[in-house]
Amino acid sequence: MVLTALRAMVRKDLQLFFSDRRSVIMGFAAPILIASFFGSIFGGSGSSAPSKVKIMVADEDNGTISQSIVASIKGDPALDAVLVTADSARATVRRGKVSVAIVIPKGFGDAAGRAFFARRDKPELEMVYDPSRSTELALVRGVTTQHVIESVSKEMFGGKRGRELTDETLASLDSSGMPADMKARVRAMLTATRDFYAVTPQGGDSSAAGGLSIPYTVKELPATSGENIAYNGYAHAFAGMGIQFLLFAAIDLGIGILLERQRGLWKRLRSAPLSRAALLGGKALSGTLITLLTLLVSFTFAILVFKVRIHGSVIGFLAVALATALMAANFGLLIASLGKTPSATRGVAILATLMMVMLGGAWVPTFIFPAWLQKATVVVPARWAVDGLDAMTWRGIGISGAILPTVVLLGFAVLFGGLAVMRFRWEEA
């Protein structure tokens, strides 16, 4: 009797879901479209070249050192640099067209060369930046520092202008105001540098002698599921958007229960030989099937179209997906048990869901959050769902990476379901 009633409830809910064109579109098409958009932004399939930071450079000095700096910046693989005037660079940043503009002021090269040995006043390199894109400023500042050090040191240790600046600095040491012991050390260093020039090629070939450089290179190794497997941003995007719309489907489940209660359906069902837990269990089962289906359809599309692969464990992937669907279905029951009217409950439930997926890393990776917030998100079920699906797809961790997320999500499902059974009302208050 109980199983027959449960099958009837589940069949009725599935028929209602597929008969509502809006629910089907929201459940299947919306997460696919939005995940495709986010995936293209956050790395795509990894087959294309990484995007460069577009900047503008204005060389008002136009000297040997500044020209070397500009050439190095333009050749940097992380930057897309365009040489313009200073006024044009500042105006372009102000309009938000580029994130950073570098202005090399007049006399920068000579001043930097003198400060290189004599610790004189250091010249300022102007960086105009868009305050809404400060992360890109940090990248540009670090890359530019490398190119300035290499260009200035190369000229000072082997260039024609470096020889001239060394002689000028030696001649002005007596009037520099330095302490005697410091002056003696600088004189010895500059004399040794001038002697070094005597055995290097003349004629201004600064590349022959070289200069200071960053004492290491970086070998970049993406931590993915295999050595020859590129990161696929669509995997994370479909995990995040799939979970978001899975939770939206759970909201529809909860609102549907409130509408049925409002119409007196649950009052009539109360007379049937079914317990409250059995009736809510039937709703949870149908909700789990619907939400699991939305997630699997989304990932099937990602696998066929965007070459997303389950590099970890198929069993682990299905376990995380099923646990996520159970959690979402019981979240819908909790919404129904706490809500009073459908209209009032829908707004609160949508807000709670958006906060959950935002804090869970569905929209943007959690590593950009403040440290305290990253720790706090461990109580957000969406965080465990996203991490578990990531582990089974592009991270390729294996079934061990699915155990903890699955257990935690099942724990949330039990918590939400238990609270729903305790708080559920057969009739409106």
Listed by start position, the domains of the chain span 2-45+230-423, 53-209
Distances (CA, A) of 209 to 63, 68, 197, 202, 214: 19, 15, 9, 10, 16
What's the rounded mean pLDDT across residues 196-208? 52
Sign, CA dihedral 419-422-423-426, equals positive
Q: How many CA atoms lie within 13 A of 8 on its CB side?
A: 9
Residue range 249-287, pLDDT digits in tens: 899 889 988 888 888 777 776 666 667 777 788 889 999
Count other C-beta atoms under 10 Å from residue 205's C-beta: 12
Q: What is the pLDDT of residue 152?
A: 83
Higher pLDDT, 40 or 289: 289
Task: Tell whether the model's pLDDT for residue 237 goes beyond 50.
Answer: yes
Confidence of residue 376 (pLDDT cuts 50, 70, 90): confident
pTM of the complete model:
0.67
What's the rounded mean pLDDT across residues 341-349? 86
Q: Which range among 23-32, 86-95, 104-113, 231-240 shows the weakest confidence by mean pLDDT? A: 23-32
- Would strands 100-104 and 126-129 be described as parallel, antiparallel, or unpaired? antiparallel
Helix/strand/coil for 152: helix
Q: Which range among 13-17, 81-85, 160-164, 276-280 shows the weakest confidence by mean pLDDT? A: 160-164
- Would strands 79-83 and 100-104 be described as parallel, antiparallel, or unpaired? unpaired
Beta strands in 86-193 (DSSP E): 100-104, 126-129
Task: Tell whether the model's pLDDT for residue 369 goes beyond 80.
Answer: no
- Rounded to the nearest integer, the mean pLDDT of the chain is 81
What's the rounded mean pLDDT across residues 61-81? 91
Q: What angle do CA 19, 343, 383 make, to 5 degrees?
A: 80
Task: Tell whether the model's pLDDT for residue 230 goes beyond 80.
Answer: no
Q: Which range among 20-29, 222-231, 349-358, 399-408 shows the weakest confidence by mean pLDDT? A: 222-231
Task: Tell whether the model's pLDDT for residue 151 goes beyond 70.
Answer: yes
In this structure, which CATH number among 3.40.1710, 3.40.91, 3.90.350, 1.10.1760 belongs to the domain 53-209? 3.40.1710
Higher pLDDT, 329 or 18: 329
Q: CA-to-CA distance for 377 and 382, rounded, in angstroms?
A: 9
Higher pLDDT, 76 or 40: 76
Residue range 209-229, pLDDT digits in tens: 455 555 545 555 555 655 556
Residue type, 140: V
Evaluate whether 54 touches 257 at the Cβ level (below 8 Å). Answer: no
Evaluate whether 364 touches 310 at the Cβ level (below 8 Å). Answer: no
Q: CA-to-CA distance for 266 and 428, rounded, in angstroms?
A: 10
What's the rounded mean pLDDT across residues 333-361? 88
Q: How many CA atoms lie within 13 A of 92 on its CB side?
A: 21
Task: Tell whether the model's pLDDT for residue 402 goes beyond 90.
Answer: yes
Q: What is the pLDDT of residue 208?
A: 47
What's the rounded mean pLDDT across residues 20-29? 71
Task: Tell whether the model's pLDDT for residue 1 goes beyond 70.
Answer: no
Q: 24-28, 94-98, 285-289, 361-365 — which one is most confidently predicted on average?
A: 285-289
Q: What is the pLDDT of residue 270?
A: 64
Task: Tell whether the model's pLDDT for residue 50 goes beyond 60.
Answer: no
Count other C-beta atoms under 10 Å from residue 291's C-beta: 31
Task: Tell whether the model's pLDDT for residue 350 goes beyond 80.
Answer: yes
Sheet holding 100-104, edge to edge: 79-83, 53-59, 100-104, 126-129
> Residues with Cβ < 8 Å from 248, sequence gap 6 or more?
26, 27, 350, 353
